[in-house]
Amino acid sequence: MYCSFVPPYLLRRLSLLEDAPVAEAAQRALGRDALIRRRRNAVCARIGEHPGILPPAGPGGEGLHPTRRISDAQHQERLPGVRVRTEGEAEVQDPAVNEAYDGLGYTFDLYAQAYGRNSLDGAGEILRATVHYGEDYDNAFWNGTRMVFGDGDGKVFQRFTKSLSVVGHELTHGVMQHTANLVYQGQPGALNESVSDVFAALVEQHRFGQTAEEASWLIGAGLFTDQVNGSALRSMKAPGTAYDDDVIGKDPQPATMAGYVDTRGDNGGVHLNSGIPNHAFYRLAVLLGGNAWERAGQIWYDTITGTRLGRESGFAAFAEATAAAAESRYGKDSEELKAVTAAWTEVGVLE
């Protein structure tokens, strides 16, 4: 699975700007992303991609600790790069290395402490990351085995390690690879993106001890430079409002099915229509209150690690699976089940 953080439609817009350095950086990112995706798809076509066997969750993650390995691509496009920090080693002078190391740890902590999951595969998989990939690379991605971070062009995007939600998002694609493994196209692909946004938000909230009401629900906060009129790449609280800028345009995400985007681009709108299930999760978290990684997050985690989803499940099937997960864990007359149904109804997926 190859999944990048910045959607192709935004990079294409940047590639057409008169600002040559920004346009050239976006063009290089688009070219690299397309090449990496073709190579990864060729491998997947030969060997297939199927969910791994999920080990049983522990009681609360006691005794689970990450194993992290950070490498530096030194602005080349070769992976993994030069090893610069491993588990237990002290901070280095490079902030990107330290941010990547910490972000991997905070993501591990959420899954271990909230759900008893031992790393991405549930069996202690090493967490690998590479920083300083390429020249002014305007993206971050999960390539099936590691996180890869660019430094940004410095005018629109800052370094991608600065945002903890970027790390949480891309590593959750790794979790999905071992669990529901939804195909990266159309509604299943939008759900794949949305689940990564959901747990990215939960990683930040868990790290800072924020309740659902206190959290910003922004994905990619801190990525834009101060030259951009925007707070993040996406907003789960209010899809379509994360940025509104004369240069990069307006956030195009819909919040409900009334704004659903039918397109062949972006793998069938995976980064666009993910705003709908994103908003459903936000509504559920607020309805339940308290810490979103507890009841709301538990329902989503039970859903992606359960047996009710197929690889091609769409929004309605996912909504039904979350309702079944809520009923199974909390009961058929529970507040949690009622809130799940209400949230999906509010965004127009359920009637």
Tell me, yes or no, if 271 is annotated catalytic.
yes
Cα–Cα distance measured from residue 64 to residue 23, given in angstroms and rounded to the nearest whole number:
44
Category of 8 on φ-ψ map: left (φ > 0), alpha (ψ -120 to 50) or beta: alpha
Q: Name the phi and psi angles at 257, rounded to 5.
A: -65, -20
Distances (CA, A) of 204 to 13, 130, 142, 163, 272: 29, 21, 19, 9, 22
Cα–Cα distance measured from residue 75 to residue 136, given in angstroms and rounded to the nearest whole number:
8
Q: How far is CA 173 from the centre of its chain?
A: 6
- Tokens 């993994």, residue? 80
Choose the catalytic residue: 125, 170, 204, 320.
170
Choose the catalytic residue: 271, 279, 320, 336.
271
Bridge-based pairing state of the strands 244-245 and 249-250: antiparallel
| DSSP at 220 | S
Element (H, E) at 142: strand 140-142
Name the amino acid, one letter, at 120.
L
Tell me, yes or no, if 170 is annotated catalytic.
yes
Cα–Cα distance measured from residue 38 to residue 235, given in angstroms and rounded to the nearest whole number:
30
CA angle, corner 80, sides to 157 and 12, nearest 5?
A: 30
Q: Whose CA is closest to 303, among 162, 198, 170? A: 198
Catalytic residues: 170, 271
